[in-house]
Structure 1
Amino acid sequence: MKIGIIGSGNVGGALGKIRGKNGHEIMFSSRNREKIKTMAEAIGKNACYGLPAEAARFADIVVLAVPWGQAKSALLSAGPLNGKILIDCTNPLKPDYSGLAVGGTTSAAEELAKLAPGASVVKAFHTTFAALMQSDSRMFGSTNPTGFYCGDDSAAKKVVADLIKETGLEPLDVGPLSYARYLEPMAMLMISLGFAQKMGTNIALKF
């Protein structure tokens, strides 16, 4: 499967590394060309890098893994995503991390879906810390953390569920894309526990 990753941060890097190890073809894209070059070279022959529009044309699945303040412009720079799966990994945090900039009557996922009307949008990979995804094992004893996801396209969700399982998480479909309104606050809780409450990033949710 061909996967285009928009974003050169910890989440995009972790997901690209896992996908590359599992035989998927990866294209990283970001404004930071030197960083994505290094990320691609670390994976090897299954990875390359380019502009967001190139990654979108290359991919069957586009992963958006950028800070919320860059999300809309990054998505628009990818161009049309007709017929593709768009995995939204963003968390709509306020600039000072004091809470969510979007929520209640809508969600980041729903707002991004408006910008990519031809794509099948699935919210996923936003409640698990990148450090945990990059670790040798996602196990806590004999338990796999839960990988929550939601979306409106059942076929797209099946594909994403397989990727979640491949990541070492236990997939849990929570419903339609509008349920991202509930998943995104869960991510805010994890960030608060990890950093404000100083529990660290080796924590995860299990349902």
Structure 2
Amino acid sequence: MKLAFIGIGNVGFSLANNFQKKGHEIIIAHNDVESGSVTKAQAKNTSFLALPIQEAIDASEVIFLATPFKFNEDILKPLEFKGKTLIDCTNPVGAGISHGLESKISGAEKVQEWAKNARVVKAYTIYGFENLENPIFPNHTVKPAMLIAGNNSEAKGKVSLLNTDLGFETIDVGDLSQSLHLEHMTLLWVKMVRANGHHPNFTWAYLER
């Protein structure tokens, strides 16, 4: 697939780099294609193309949003997604590692509000970038789980295929409103690792009897 990345920091680059290794075409979506973040990413992976955001969306099948949440509204409102899949990799984090929207609504639902004609799927948020950079756990037979939420089954199917490429087992938790609970899983992971010193190289798994 052709994949566009709005945001190419730790999360965006980790995903883009791994997907490129799996044979996907990567486009960095940035309105300044010579910005520091773009040139830094291209120095690490010379196969990345860079295009202005709307052009990158038009050229891609799936778009990843991997920006700080506070910028999402201004970035998304002017854009035309034409029914394409938009993967929300962002989290609204408030003071003291709290939910930035006071748990009244998920960040993903706000993303859908701002990107009205996109098919938003929440994914790649319940872990830090370390487990997107290296999602392989060679000593275990159970795959790491990637929980996703969204309102469109076709869009979630595309995300499931991408998850498989990275080695994740997809767990579909329901419609986009379920993203609120995934964002709380993120806060749990962040508090454990960033605040309390737990090592980052762990994921959740799904066992079924």
SS in 2 for 1:86: strand
What SS does the corresponding residue of 2:149 show, helix, strand or coil?
strand
Residue of structure 1 equivalent to 2:7: 7
Change (3 A) 1:139 1:189: farther
**Equivalence for 1:53:** 54
What residue in structure 2 maps to residue 35 of structure 1? Answer: 37
- The code of the aligned residue for 1:201 comes to P
**Structure 1 stretches of at least 4 aligned residues deviating more than 3 Å after TM superposition:** none
Q: Which runs of 5+ in 2 are unaligned?
A: none
Residues 103 and 181 of structure 1 are in contact (CA less than 8 Å); yes or no, is this contact kept in structure 2? no
Provide Cα deviations, 1:159-199, integer angstroms capped at 9, x if missing partner. 10111121121110000111111111010000001111210
CA shift, 1:103, in A, is: 4.8
Deviation at 1:143, TM superposition (A): 2.7
Q: Is the contact between residue 86 and residue 120 of structure 2 (CA under 8 Å) also seen in structure 1?
A: yes
- % identical equivalent positions: 28
TM-score (norm 1): 0.90
Query: CA, structure 1 residues 74+140, in 2 after alignment: closer, same or farther (shift >3 Å)?
Result: farther
Structure 1: give runs of 5+ residues left out of the alignment: none
Counterpart residue number, 1:72: 73
Q: Which moved more, 1:149-158 or 1:29-38?
A: 29-38
Deviation at 1:140, TM superposition (A): 5.5
Change (3 A) 1:81 1:137: same
Rounded Cα–Cα distance in structure 2 between residues aligned with 1:138 and 1:107: 30
Partner in structure 1 of residue 123 of structure 2: 124
2:172 aligns with 173
TM-score (norm 2): 0.90
| Residue 86 of structure 1, CA deviation | 0.4
Corresponding residue of 1:23: 23
The answer to whether the 8 A contact 2:135-2:168 is kept is no
d(CA) in 2 for partners of 1:127 and 1:61? 20
Q: Secondary structure at the match of 2:98?
A: coil
**Which residue type is aligned with residue 7 of structure 1?**
G
Shift of 1:206: 1.4
CA displacement at 1:136 relative to structure 2:
7.1
SS in 2 for 1:195: helix
Question: Helix, strand or coil: the match of 2:99?
Answer: coil
Q: CA deviation at 1:138?
A: 4.2
CA distance in 2: counterparts of 1:51 and 1:200, whole angstroms: 37
1:88-124: CA deviation from partner (whole Å, max 9, x where unpaired)? 0001101x44311125331100011011111111000
**Partner-residue secondary structure (3-state), 2:187:** helix
Q: Counterparts of 1:167 and 1:173 in 2: how far apart (Å)?
A: 16
Conserved 8 A contact 1:64-1:75: no
Q: Tell me which residue corresponds to 1:204.
A: 203
Q: For structure 1, which segment, 35-44 or 159-168, has the greater mean C-alpha deviation from structure 2 after superposition?
A: 35-44
Q: Conserved in 2, the CA contact under 8 Å of 1:37 and 1:48?
A: no
Residue in 1 that maps onto 2:111:
112
| Partners of 1:68 and 1:90 within 8 A in 2 | yes
Native 8 Å contact 1:139 1:145 kept in 2: no
Counterpart of 1:42, as a letter, is: K
2:135–2:166 Cα contact (<8 Å) kept: no
Amino acid at match of 1:39: A
Q: How many residues align?
A: 204
